[in-house]
Structure 1
Amino acid sequence: MGTIYKIEYLTENTIIKIFETGKIDVITAEYHAAVNSAGSLTFKLSPLHAAYNSIETLVGIVVLYKNDKIIFKSRVYSITIDNYNIKTVECEGMLAVLNDSIIKPYEYSEYKSLDGTKSTQKFGNWIYQLTNNHNQQVTENTHFFETVMSDKLRNLDFSCKNTSYSDTWSEIKSKFINELDGFLWVEYNNELLTLSTEQDVLHFDTTLSRACNQEIKYAVNLSSIERKIYADDFATAILPLGGEYETETGGKIKTSIVSVNNNNEFLVNDDAVKKYGRINKVINFDGVLSPTELLKLAKNKLDEIISLSGNLSVKAVDLSIVDDTLDCFEIGQKVKIISENHQTDMYAIISEYDIDLLQPQAAEYKLNSNFKSFVNITNQTIYKIKE
């Protein structure tokens, strides 16, 4: 059985079919997905299409199915009609609803919080307060997702602040994605009981490790491979700084690793210093108050930046289109890449892809090894190639 894609437009009272492989046609239909991104879906309709006059901006949701499983939910944010009355509909993924709520200046610390309730100084409690703040400002159809995260992440010592007005998505991106090197991905509820995002699950992860049984091989489904060696963020020693806390004298000081790192505020890689010299860099982890946790994060960060080798980019074709026994490629999956021609036998993460829904067999998936869990493997492989 081949892959069947469907696009439907849902409002409170009706379901309108827009596209289905081999049955209902559109002029174009393109789906874009990427790690830590809302994603997008764009399609063009002729004036003769049955749904031409039904779609409205920011009304209802547009759903993309793959073999009857929901892989993307979105809302219409732009409709353009050209000189020939061709209608282009642009949709943004439901993560974009987190742009709809405002967060006032705040401090999340031992005695302060976002919403006036008691702060536990844990990451999970911070997300819970963001949830409440968002839901109080928006209507039910754009309420916060159900959230899932590991107990370790939920109980992570965490503090942060913002001195300006922001939106919920910007706060999550700044404090979680950028500072904690976090990842977000949405698991969609396949039962469309309501139009609310509450039915969907927002996963918070600090690593992406979902395995795929499909491999990428040279002369089979590997389209291109590119290796880049750079020193943009290179350092051999880092000074990690955590969140601020109040001293006994009433002053404020940033958390350091001195107490858990042999009385040294710097974390140093001696082998790298011997080879490249002492190059220092300050790394901020503003939400971390535990010296032990700060040291752990700092070690991971130093592992990333002590190497001049940084990136392996791969483009590949998804063979599950023609082989039902293979897992289909999805954002965030870990996939093995094998190419004797490039002396490569390693894992990488699917970071981005674009699918032409009218020709899905031609879709290319981009994989990137520049994630902290796999950086060391990448470095070893590229050094081997270089030698």
Structure 2
Amino acid sequence: MYDIYAYPYGNPDAKLLLYRPNDPQALVLSPKLTREVSKGGSLVFTMTRDHTQYDMLQKLSTVVQVRRDGKEIWRGRVLKHEADFYNRRVVYCEGALSYFNDSSITPFNYKGTLRQFLQHLIDAHNDQVKSKMKCFQLGTVTAALGDLVVQFGDADQYGVGEDYGKVWDILDKLVLKVFGGYFYCGFDAATGYNVLNYCDQAVEAKRQTAQKIEYGRNLLNLSETTDATDLYTRIYPIGSKHTVDTSKWYYKLMWWRDPSKDKHEERWGIMETDAATVAQYLPASGYSYNLEEGWIQNNAAVQKFGIITRIVELDTDSANDTFAAGVQALQQNYAMKTSYVIRAVDLVDAGYDTDRLDFSMYSHIISAPHSVDAVMLCTKLVEPLEKPAQKEFTFGMTRRTLTDRQVANMGTTNLLQESAYTSEKYHQDMLKRLFEYAEQAKKDSDEAAKTATNFLEYTPQNGLVVRHDSLPGKRVQIMHDGIRVTDGTSMVNIQPDGISITDGVGSCSINSGSITFHGIRNKQELWYNSETTFAAQTIRPSGLSGYSALLILFRSQKDGTWFSGGGNAGLVSMIVPVNGVEMSMVYPWNTVHKRSVTVYTDRIVFGEGYERTSSYTTGVLGTATYFSLQSPTSDGWSTSNGMCVPYKIYGFM
């Protein structure tokens, strides 16, 4: 059984139930979850206007979680929604991997292992986004990939890096497209961080399901796609630029017969590769090369497909490195891509005690009529949550063919309709079992509807719900584990161990001895001043529009008075809303110090500093001298740049 939950601002204490089968208070239409390697995936569903959480899904800041049989299988955030004439709202959610689109990397250079490079990117991402719901930690990294020593940009540490962009663009361009493999996401409940895993295409025994997909047992339909678009059998590797006085490139010498002796820039090729490098990196058989012309080829692929050449650009700084990287690129890309889209009965849904067929897991696919007998990775899984029997699996991201039959059938699609039809007919009895629970669910739902009223509803899952159509968005829900009061986008959730409060701009949890604000961002320093004097002026820190309040630290510097020395009483803080309203910074000393401050969305205006002055008249009565602090002879304010000097400013909320 699938459930969908939402968490405003990623607050784990503000859990909202969006979908549960047979629950009249948590029904959405056509929920569909799509998971795919190296992509965030998506969740799409439709909410009717009377859904209890209709107004609670704040875009971008609401975490959405999908659970299956009580275990989390996917999480992401609300991205957008579309509403029709009847206010039915189609909600689109994107997966956690998409959080990497929220951070960016400026030009950089790097040399080290690929695993450490991934960790650097994650650290930079976490430092920028701050919000725990968007943060990542590095999970499984296949050793064959993680231990690779890579270099991006000029090896000179003072050189200017040419690689930059959104963190996801860097992951896609410099990792996936260069080294292959795939990403998939998980979640660590202990740390509250998303987990980024990076693996190659080698089969991992611990991630292989015990359940097989077999023709005549649980295979319903199979379609095969063979793509030769990216196939090549010979490559011309070219590396980075360097300065030369004589060209080595074959066609340049053949067409321009007078080789230049002037210094100029050219790209590295393999023409000057030494014999030791060739012996080290070129496989012992099946490959050939021509250093003079600058190419490497796979002989077996040439015999099957002919000579198909590609120019492959590499980030290398010598002929030897270019040759080694070229061999690796050819080994990864010499064959056609083959994938299978499969409809199969997950035997767990049919009541069998076995492993599930699941996303990012390996399964053994056996179908003699289709010449398939291989263990392949589930790279994509589309799950209609209301109809689990209609799940669609995509297996295979391999760049090698499984049978010679694919060569003869290039360009042909959907060859297997007749065989698939026979298999599907054979398994109708299994499908009947899978839909039995749906019929029972409908009966339970009809029975619940009979007992419901317009203002008072009770179900074992949701407890007692009090609401009325004349008060849209307002409701009280009494459950076994607490009481929940909702008004539009605001909610108070009272539980035995604490209280959670959520509104349209933030969320907090109150527990014994602590208050946690999930909307506060008080670690981001926006501005700093080391001087002890400060004239009236306007400052323009970047990013003010992203906050509703600032935390300002300030101090005063007072000269000596009477018989005491000067100094200050330390730092004083105040919270200032970003609303354009003038407020006063006030500092305690032997006299009051003040300075005005006004915060706008694009600037902060500070007024002059002032010190309170007072004059007193003393009198003599007997031998005692006295004066009244409440009754000065005269008073006023004197200006001073040392009063209430702003020190640091933080983005608060």
Global fold match (TM > 0.5): yes
Distance in 2, matches of 1:181 and 1:207, equals 9
Determine which structure has greater relative contact order: mean sequence separation of CA pairs < 8 Å that are 6+ residues apart, divided by chain length.
1
Instruction: Decide which moves more: 73-82 or 332-341.
Output: 332-341
Q: Confirm whether residue 203 of structure 1 aligns to residue 200 of structure 2.
A: no
The TM-score with structure 2 as length reference comes to 0.50
Q: What do the CA deviations read for 1:247-302 (whole angstroms, capped 9, x no partner)?
A: 9x997854759342258453222344456544322223437985686255235225
The TM-score with structure 1 as length reference comes to 0.80
Name the residue aligned to 1:187.
186
Q: Confirm whether residue 328 of structure 1 aligns to residue 356 of structure 2.
A: yes
Name the residue aligned to 1:363.
391
1:186 match: secondary structure: strand
Contact between 1:157 and 1:288, CA under 8 Å: does it hold in 2? Answer: no
Distance 1:355 1:230, change over 3 A: closer
- Which runs of 5 or more structure 2 residues have no equivalent in the other structure? 154-160, 245-262, 280-289, 411-653
Q: Which amino acid aligns with 2:112?
A: Q
Instruction: Decide which moves more: 51-60 or 149-158.
Output: 149-158
Name the residue aligned to 1:147.
138
Contact between 1:6 and 1:65, CA under 8 Å: does it hold in 2? Answer: yes
Distance in 2, matches of 1:140 and 1:93, equals 16
Superposed counterparts of 1:46-195, under 5 Å = 46-104=48-106, 106-108=107-109, 119-148=110-139, 149-161=141-153, 163=162, 166-190=165-189, 194=192
Name the residue aligned to 1:235.
232
Contact between 2:33 and 2:42, CA under 8 Å: does it hold in 1? Answer: yes
Q: What do the CA deviations read for 1:78-112 (whole angstroms, capped 9, x no partner)?
A: 122221121222111111110001222x242xxxx
Q: Confirm whether residue 17 of structure 1 aligns to residue 46 of structure 2.
A: no
Distance 1:283 1:329, change over 3 A: farther
Name the residue aligned to 1:261.
278
Contact between 1:157 and 1:287, CA under 8 Å: does it hold in 2? Answer: no
Distance in 1, matches of 2:393 and 2:29, equals 23
1:128 match: secondary structure: helix
Contact between 2:268 and 2:316, CA under 8 Å: does it hold in 1? Answer: no
Q: Confirm whether residue 222 of structure 1 aligns to residue 219 of structure 2.
A: yes
Contact between 1:179 and 1:284, CA under 8 Å: does it hold in 2? Answer: no
Contact between 2:31 and 2:386, CA under 8 Å: does it hold in 1? Answer: yes
Distance in 1, matches of 2:226 and 2:30, equals 38
Name the residue aligned to 1:382.
406
Q: Which amino acid aligns with 2:188?
A: N
1:301 match: secondary structure: helix
Q: What do the CA deviations read for 1:133-188 (whole angstroms, capped 9, x no partner)?
A: 22232223255411131444333121224747521111101111112112101122
Q: Which amino acid aligns with 2:7?
A: L
Contact between 2:134 and 2:194, CA under 8 Å: does it hold in 1? Answer: no
1:121 match: secondary structure: strand
Q: Which amino acid aligns with 2:129?
A: V
Q: Which amino acid aligns with 1:180?
A: F
Distance in 1, matches of 2:79 and 2:224, equals 37
Distance in 1, matches of 2:117 and 2:241, equals 16
Distance in 1, matches of 2:167 and 2:62, equals 22
Q: Which amino acid aligns with 2:308?
A: I
2:312 match: secondary structure: strand
Contact between 2:3 and 2:68, CA under 8 Å: does it hold in 1? Answer: yes
Q: Confirm whether residue 319 of structure 1 aligns to residue 342 of structure 2.
A: no
For these two proteins, the number of residue pairs brought into alignment is 359
- Which runs of 5 or more structure 1 residues have no equivalent in the other structure? 109-118
Distance in 2, matches of 1:155 and 1:288, equals 20
Larger gyration radius, structure 1 or structure 2: 2
Distance in 2, matches of 1:279 and 1:59, equals 49
Q: Which amino acid aligns with 1:99?
A: N
Contact between 2:341 and 2:392, CA under 8 Å: does it hold in 1? Answer: no
Q: What do the CA deviations read for 1:44-79 (whole angstroms, capped 9, x no partner)?
A: 222222212222112231111111111111111112
Distance in 1, matches of 2:316 and 2:147, equals 12
Instruction: Decide which moves more: 252-261 or 173-182.
Output: 252-261
Contact between 2:364 and 2:374, CA under 8 Å: does it hold in 1? Answer: yes
Distance in 1, matches of 2:317 and 2:4, equals 43
1:321 match: secondary structure: coil
Percent of residue pairs bearing the same amino acid type: 21
Distance 1:275 1:9, change over 3 A: closer
> Normalized per residue, which structure has more strand?
2
Contact between 2:135 and 2:194, CA under 8 Å: does it hold in 1? Answer: no
Distance in 1, matches of 2:174 and 2:278, equals 25
Q: Which amino acid aligns with 1:282?
A: I
Distance 1:341 1:153, change over 3 A: closer
Distance in 2, matches of 1:211 and 1:127, equals 26
2:149 match: secondary structure: coil
1:319 match: secondary structure: coil
Name the residue aligned to 2:377.
349
Q: Which amino acid aligns with 1:170?
A: D
Residue number among 283, 288, 292 corresponding to 2:312 in the alignment? 283
Distance 1:25 1:227, change over 3 A: closer
Q: Which amino acid aligns with 1:72?
A: W
Residue number among 285, 290, 294 corresponding to 2:325 in the alignment? 294
Q: Which amino acid aligns with 1:216?
A: I
Distance in 2, matches of 1:363 and 1:328, equals 12
Contact between 1:267 and 1:298, CA under 8 Å: does it hold in 2? Answer: no
Distance in 2, matches of 1:164 and 1:158, equals 14
2:188 match: secondary structure: coil
Distance in 2, matches of 1:21 and 1:173, equals 38
2:231 match: secondary structure: coil
